[in-house]
Amino acid sequence: MHMRKVPGFVPASPWGLRLPQKFLFLLFLSGLVTLCFGALFLLPHSSRLKRLFLASRTQQPGLEVMAEVAGHPSAREQEPPPKPAPAVPAPGEDDPSSRAGPRPRKGWLRRTRPTGPREEATAARGSGVAALRPGEESIPFSFDFSAFRSRLRHPVLGTRTDESKEPQSRVRAQREKIKEMMRFAWQSYRRYAMGRNELRPLTKDGYEGSMFGGLSGATIIDSLDTLYLMELKEEFQEAKAWVEESFHLNVSGEASLFEVNIRYIGGLLSAYYLTGEEVFRIKAIKLGEKLLPAFNTPTGIPKGVVNFKSGSWGWATAGSSSILAEFGSLHLEFLHLTELSGNPIFAKKVRNIRKVLRKIDKPFGLYPNFLSPVSGNWVQHHVSVGGLGDSFYEYLIKSWLMSAKTDMEAKNMYYEALEAIETYLLNVSPGGLTYIAEWRGGILDHKMGHLACFSGGMISLGAEDAKEEKRAHYQELAAQITRTCHESYARSDTKLGPEAFWFNSGREAVATQLSESYYILRPEVVESYMYLWRQTHDPTYREWGWDVVMALEKYCRTDAGFSGIQDVYSSSPNHDNKQQSFFLAETLKYLYLLFSEDDTLSLEDWVFNTEAHPLPVNHSDSSSQAWQRH
């Protein structure tokens, strides 16, 4: 129907208002609305309202879905107290609040101060979260960094002696040398391979590898805390800038759950705890979320590989098994993911792993290396404290220490496992060398892998919490194992140790074939020197550590970074053309700590994850989801 306009006629609205009146009414109404929203954003203490209005825009579907699948209520239904931004210490500048002194015994956790998208953008810029992509922007939960720092017993980098007063100190010069090696390793990587996972020093290019599912920059993430520790400030800033601008999580390959966890998550968590920079916390949590699909198995024991694209854990490989060292080395990082995100799901996943392992029958109290994530049964009876088993044991004792000695379950599991290892795997060679053999259904392989050499440090670290009558014994055992590992170095031409060494046919602590004679810049032996030094202050450990520094310089340093070598028994070995990221994360860090004071990253405050990334001990009496005991 066609409406005809009558000139001069102003139609009344259905409410009987004429046009000018209607205009005035609308003007009043819009003023009112603007005022309300203005108040919503500008008035202090309006967080609850903001959350009400903005919730749908700040929540992350990924987390919510996972929490629901796991039967959890949302972790975000919490009330935020106002929070001053924590003062962020620059590398080398210690946070004064971390100095020993009276500490408030408040909960460690703080709750979120929700923000709108615009505020997030501003906050992100301010805190260096410049290049976050959609879906990576924020975590609607905040962590009280200042409170955390105030609870540390020691300054993070230690109470450094006034170095100008002892310029000639030998130990200082040794530390400086190791710092120079780190600078060189970093600068070589930056020059030839920045953004790639690892440097190839001979071909002077980068290498991605197949473990990280398309993630890049493994060396950068692995290096952050070492650069910070050594006060390589410029280099730390370069690394941080790369994380801000170029570390993207929207990748779609297949990744090793274990490797991504220990290197990337561990590295980001440490970088956050050392600096308070939000970008590290956010990236760690977002990456942690991408790992969660690996746990969707019938038992909740994760598969070793997660597909970042489909999120599946690979039903096609349902027959294959999960590896003890891999699914058993998530506990430390996942508790901290819950601590920093407020989301209980991470802690729940690793508690379930613990539960499965606690309940399952263990042959002679030993933990075999392979478990079916489908049936929850051991797949075969191969037991090792080296590769495939190693860091599972490490994470038990470190879970106990990280919980400020409240996680009794971890403590008990650790000492029980150690007893079984001692009973069935420990041996002394005819030449008097103590070693931990490998066990195949009751038959022993009289060999130790380089990887197993971390165990000296672990046993030393756990000695003081053992039953009183065992303490001295464990300390001695740790020293003996470490001595054996040292022998594997001392008996080579290069004074670097082989990948595996045997105790057979009169030959002791040496590799028996070329395929086991390589050295790939691994840290485990110097790791044990560091722990033994801290426990005993026996100068032998520094001497042995210094021998390693000299050997690395002589045989592994190239024009463009450090490289592994193919044969430790050759005095002119070939290089393997790889500067492993763990060389910067672990080997150089442990060496540096070996020549530092005990309060530098004090063992009272920090535990090192299996990639040497320091994670803080929970000194709070917090009721956070992360530390709840079940």
Structure tokens at 171: 């130990």
Of 279 and 552, which has the nearer Cβ to ligand DMJ?
A: 552
User: Minimal distance in Å, beta carbon 479 to ligand DMJ?
Assistant: 21
Distance between CA 188 and CA 198 in Å, rounded?
A: 11
Of 76 and 486, which has the nearer Cβ to ligand DMJ?
A: 486
The residue behind tokens 């499965």 is 356
C-beta atoms surrounding 471 within 10 Å = 14
Which has the closest alpha carbon to 307: 197, 213, 176, 216? 213
H or E stretch including 271?
helix 266-275
Identified catalytic residue from 278, 289, 333, 390: 390
Length of the chain: 630
User: Minimal distance in Å, beta carbon 96 to ligand DMJ?
Assistant: 33
Task: Tell me the backbone φ, ψ of residue 7, rounded to 5 degrees.
Answer: -55, 140
**SS3 label, residue 591:** helix
Site for ligand DMJ in 199-228 (CB under 6 A): none
User: Minimal distance in Å, beta carbon 611 to ligand DMJ?
Assistant: 5
User: Minimal distance in Å, beta carbon 172 to ligand DMJ?
Assistant: 28
259 a catalytic residue: yes
499 a catalytic residue: yes
The DSSP secondary structure of 120-144, one letter per residue, reads: HHHHHHHTT-TTPPTT-S--S----
Identified catalytic residue from 339, 499, 508, 599: 499
Answer yes or no whether residue 333 interacts with ligand DMJ by CB under 6 A: no
Site for ligand DMJ in 583-612 (CB under 6 A): 586, 610-611
Of 255 and 345, which has the nearer Cβ to ligand DMJ?
A: 255
Binding mask 260-279 for ligand DMJ (x = CB under 6 A): --------------------
Of 142 and 256, which has the nearer Cβ to ligand DMJ?
A: 256
Answer yes or no whether residue 391 interacts with ligand DMJ by CB under 6 A: yes
CA dihedral in degrees (452, 337, 240, 270; nearest 10)?
A: -50
* Sign of the CA dihedral with 466 first, then 471, 477, and 479 last: positive
Distance between CA 404 and CA 616 in Å, rounded?
A: 10
The DSSP secondary structure of 549-582, one letter per residue, reads: HHHIIIIIEETTEE--BS-TT-SSPPB-S-B-HH
Q: 27-56 burial by CB neighbour count: b if 16+ within 10 A, else e?
A: eeeeeeeeeeeeeeeeeeeebeebbeebee
Identified catalytic residue from 136, 137, 259, 326: 259
User: Minimal distance in Å, beta carbon 587 to ligand DMJ?
Assistant: 8
User: Minimal distance in Å, beta carbon 455 to ligand DMJ?
Assistant: 12
User: Minimal distance in Å, beta carbon 260 to ligand DMJ?
Assistant: 11
H or E stretch including 341?
helix 331-341
HEC sequence for 210-259: CCECCCCCHHHHHHHHHHHHCCCHHHHHHHHHHHHHHCCCCCCCEEEHHH
Among positions 582, 590, 592, 627, the unique one binding ligand DMJ when judged by CB under 6 A: 582
Of 143 and 531, which has the nearer Cβ to ligand DMJ?
A: 531
Binding mask 528-567 for ligand DMJ (x = CB under 6 A): ----------------------------------------
User: Minimal distance in Å, beta carbon 503 to ligand DMJ?
Assistant: 21
Contact present, 467 and 475 (Cβ < 8 Å): no
Rg for the chain (alpha carbons), in Å?
A: 28
CA dihedral in degrees (153, 154, 155, 160; nearest 10)?
A: 170
Site for ligand DMJ in 463-492 (CB under 6 A): none
Is 610 annotated in some ligand binding site?
yes
Of 391 and 577, which has the nearer Cβ to ligand DMJ?
A: 391
Residue nearest to ligand DMJ (CB): 610
289 a catalytic residue: no
Answer yes or no whether residue 367 interacts with ligand DMJ by CB under 6 A: no
Residues in binding contact with ligand DMJ, number by CB under 6 A: 8
Contact present, 201 and 560 (Cβ < 8 Å): yes
User: Minimal distance in Å, beta carbon 161 to ligand DMJ?
Assistant: 31
Site for ligand DMJ in 435-464 (CB under 6 A): 451
Structure tokens at 241: 């800038």
The contacts of residue 370 (CB under 8 Å, 6+ apart) are: 321, 322, 323, 324, 378, 379, 380, 382, 388
User: Minimal distance in Å, beta carbon 402 to ligand DMJ?
Assistant: 16
Of 267 and 344, which has the nearer Cβ to ligand DMJ?
A: 267
Of 420 and 452, which has the nearer Cβ to ligand DMJ?
A: 452
Answer yes or no whether residue 523 interacts with ligand DMJ by CB under 6 A: yes
Which has the closest alpha carbon to 403: 465, 467, 323, 478? 465
Identified catalytic residue from 137, 278, 289, 524: 524
Cα separations in angstroms, 605 against 61, 398, 447, 537: 35, 12, 35, 19
Of 529 and 582, which has the nearer Cβ to ligand DMJ?
A: 582
Of 457 and 561, which has the nearer Cβ to ligand DMJ?
A: 457
Q: Write out the E strands in 283-363.
A: 305-307, 322-323
Cα separations in angstroms, 91 against 128, 224, 471: 15, 10, 37
Which has the closest alpha carbon to 527: 539, 541, 537, 514? 541
Answer yes or no whether residue 522 interacts with ligand DMJ by CB under 6 A: yes
Annotated catalytic residues are: 259, 390, 499, 524
List residues forming the annotated binding site for Ca(2+). 610
| Residue ranges in contact with ligand DMJ by CB under 6 A | 391, 451, 522-523, 582, 586, 610-611
List residues forming the annotated binding site. 610
